[in-house]
């Protein structure tokens, strides 16, 4: 397969130098401005999150997978999108120290805009709605054949994915976001939001993407255009559900630890003192 690609595409086309430079620059910034800075304590886990996220971005943007996703396989394109939206973005958000986010993301100049764009239910509808529209064959065929439109569409999707994961992760503690129960509901709704478009591609029996039809079977001989579309639907749902399940598991684990830490402690919010006597108030009658 690689020999075929090298025969029909230049080395630069297969290995995007500009993406390599961008990712190396981001890595350099993270190491020198965050890891080596005394201002931002970076845990070992956050370092792992960052480097895994960067490696995944390198895999989907700076390797032959990118040219395969553009010209040969729709399933490779969906794999590319799924890795970016459901794995790399949450990992990179988790990799950023809270103090850094407070200083540059959640400050007096950006609070208002972030509150709007990261509104829980707006971000849920925006990301899943836009991704569904993007993957509709009639829309995709128009966008995919125009480099400028494709860039704009994917940039908007990446931005909306960041805001959606911001709600789920809630990386800055002082931001008043959803409580754990509502975040669990949020993840559940997000997991079923893309079910229609994923199921559509799994059961589809006709080729809908003219850009891929002329070169079908060139990369994987047994993979026809229809099978390629069905594989894309499976990849979308598997990676989406896997990422949301992992996020839900981590959230429930954190919630459990928080409740365990509260066990045996006093809820000072519902306590009053009268002549040295401690009175516990009913929360509903406070």
Model confidence over 269-284: pLDDT tens digits?
Answer: 454 444 544 444 554 5
User: What is the distance between the alpha carbons of residues 43 and 52, in angstroms, rounded to a whole number?
Assistant: 14
Cβ distance 7 to 1 under 8 Å?
A: no
- Yes or no: say if 53 and 45 are a contact pair by the CB < 8 Å rule: no
Give the rounded distance of the alpha carbon of 264 from its chain centre. 37
pLDDT > 70 in the chain, percent: 88
Per domain, the residue ranges of the chain are 2-285
Exposed, middle or buried: residue 117 (CB in 10 Å: 0-12, 13-18, 19+)?
middle
Task: Give the whole-angstrom CA distance, residue 198 versus residue 177.
Answer: 29
- Residue 282 DSSP class: P
pTM over 0.85: yes
pLDDT at 207 over 80: yes
Picking from 205, 197, 253, 196, the residue whose alpha carbon sits closest to that of residue 227 is 205
pLDDT in tens, 24-39: 999 999 999 999 988 8
């Amino acid at each position: 397969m690689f020999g075929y690609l090298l025969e029909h595409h230049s080395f630069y086309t297969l290995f995007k130098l500009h993406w390599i430079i961008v990712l190396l620059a981001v890595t350099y910034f993270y190491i020198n401005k965050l890891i080596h800075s005394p201002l931002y304590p970076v845990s070992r886990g956050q370092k792992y999150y960052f480097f895994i996220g960067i490696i995944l971005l390198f895999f989907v943007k700076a390797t032959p997978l990118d040219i395969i996703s553009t010209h040969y396989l729709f399933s490779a394109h969906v794999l590319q999108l799924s890795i970016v939206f459901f794995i790399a973005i949450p990992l990179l958000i988790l990799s950023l120290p809270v103090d850094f986010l407070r200083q540059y993301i959640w400050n007096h100049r950006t609070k208002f805009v972030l509150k709007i764009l990261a509104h829980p239910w707006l971000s849920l509808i925006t990301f899943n709605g836009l991704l569904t529209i993007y993957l509709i064959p009639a829309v995709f065929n128009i966008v995919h054949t125009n480099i400028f439109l494709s860039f704009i569409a994917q940039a908007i999707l990446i931005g909306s994915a960041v805001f959606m994961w911001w709600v789920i992760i809630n990386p800055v503690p002082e931001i008043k976001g959803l409580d754990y129960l509502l975040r669990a509901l949020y993840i559940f709704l997000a997991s079923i939001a893309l079910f229609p478009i994923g199921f559509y591609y799994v059961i589809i029996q006709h080729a809908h993407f003219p850009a891929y039809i002329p070169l079908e079977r060139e990369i994987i001989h047994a993979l026809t255009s229809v099978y390629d579309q069905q594989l894309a639907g499976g990849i979308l749902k598997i990676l989406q559900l896997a990422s949301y399940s992992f996020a839900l598991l981590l959230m429930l684990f954190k919630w459990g630890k928080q409740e365990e830490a509260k066990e045996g402690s006093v809820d000072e919010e519902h306590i009053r003192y009268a002549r040295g006597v401690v009175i516990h108030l009913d929360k509903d009658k406070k």
